[in-house]
Structures are given as C-alpha cells and as structure tokens.
Structure 1
C-alpha cells in the first residue's frame, strides 16, 4: 500500500545521502564546559526560591529536561543525539547517589553534569551527547 499525503497524492520520500563523516568538524564538537555552564545557569534560574511539591515535581522535571535539550541544541552541536536526564527530589538531609554507564567513542561523544540544591529540593541534571554519523 502506497503512502498518500493529505490531498490524496503519493507521499514523496526524502532520501538522504551518506556524508561519510566519521567524526564531527572541530567547530561542531561537543564542549562539555559550555553545556555545564548552561546547566548551572538554567538550574539556578529555574529552581532558586522554589519549594518542592510532589504533585508538580514530575511536570517540573519534564519541563526542565525539555528546556535543557532545546538550549543545548541551540549551541550548535550538529549531528549529536542528545539524552537529557533530570532528577528532582525533596531535600530531607538524605544522601543521593546516581551513576550511569555508556558505551561510546571517547573521541566524539561526551557528557556534562550539574546539580543544584536549596533548602527544600535538590536537582541533578545530565546531558549525554552521542555523535551520529
């Protein structure tokens, strides 16, 4: 069965040519220090003075992750797949530990991590950038 557009005509399929680029250009390499600075500023801007609310917590986490992804994309790390992980929780003098493992190419992939806490909540945000050929 052929795919059709909203007017009933055949849907044109876009065919992409292989670029044969096995690593990013120097200007498009992932710069973790730039992303860490972005994370630090964004977390402070959004969470300063906030009080932890368990009902709004999941929505706040999703919104933070979406905003981080959009701002990192705007930095121009072309051809990188971005994975953003954000954790927000109530601060009750407990210990919070987080770890992650990835299989990647250390020459082209990277990550940045930042945390924030105030009297009521804590937040941990990580951005993983995987070069996509």
Structure 2
C-alpha cells in the first residue's frame, strides 16, 4: 500500500485518501463472492486495515471509519453523511466499490487534533 503524503500536514486530502481505501477493500474482498457468514469479518477487517493505514501516517487527526457491505439485489441502498467541522483542516472520503455480487461503501472521517 502506498504512503499517504499530503502537501499540507494540517489538511486531510480526500483525493489522496481514496486509493488506499480502495486497496484495503480489494485486499479483503477483491475476488470473492458475497457470503453472509463472512460479512462481519470482512467489514471489521476493512475498517481495521483502513484505520491502521491512516494512523501509521502519524498525522494529527482523529479518524472514524465506517464500512457497509450489501449483497447485490433489486433492493436500493442510500447513504448520507453530514459533518459540522472546520473545513480548512478536517475532511472525509467515501469510496463506493462493487464486484458482480456485492457493494461496499467505506467512509473515512478525519478530524484535526488541535
């Protein structure tokens, strides 16, 4: 997994955060089919991998990671997030990933520590 380097140490860069999140998802469920018995394990593993990746950067942020995995069917899935924070430093990244049998949505929230 490539290192997360931001030009500004005090600002969360959404564009640079997307690739490592996709790599975490691919690493955990990349080539597999949906399996209800493994969803809890997959979601826990994805959030832990993402969290540890960002924490290893040693930047002054508190991180919140959320992962949703849903089997592909005719059902709809709608998600929304709202945050009240300092837009100059804090940020979020939401990655939508899918394969032929499931959807995965991962959201990362980074709140700067003063």
TM-score, normalization by structure 1: 0.74
Secondary structure at 1:56's aligned position in 2? helix
In structure 2, how many angstroms separate the alpha carbons of the residues matched to 1:81 and 1:34? 17
Structure 1 residues 55, 124: closer, same or farther in 2, change over 3 A? same
Q: Residues of 1 paired with 2:69 and 2:16: CA distance?
A: 22
Q: Name the CA distance, whole Å, in 2 between partners of 1:102 and 1:30.
A: 14
Partner of 1:37: 19
Structure 1 Cα separation of the partners of residues 57 and 14 of structure 2: 11
Deviations 1:26-58 (A, max 9, x none): 334211111111112222332222111112111
Q: Secondary structure at the match of 1:63?
A: helix
- The residue aligned with 2:100 is 119
User: For the pair shown, which has the larger CA radius of gyration, 1 or 2?
Assistant: 1
Deviates further, 87-96 or 116-125: 87-96
Is there any run of 5+ residues in structure 2 with no aligned partner, and where?
A: 1-6
Paired residues, what number? 108
Normalising by structure 2, we get a TM-score of 0.85
SS at match of 1:27: coil
Q: Distance in 1 between matches of 2:27 and 2:44?
A: 16
- Aligned equivalent of 1:59: 41
Question: SS of the counterpart of 1:55?
Answer: helix
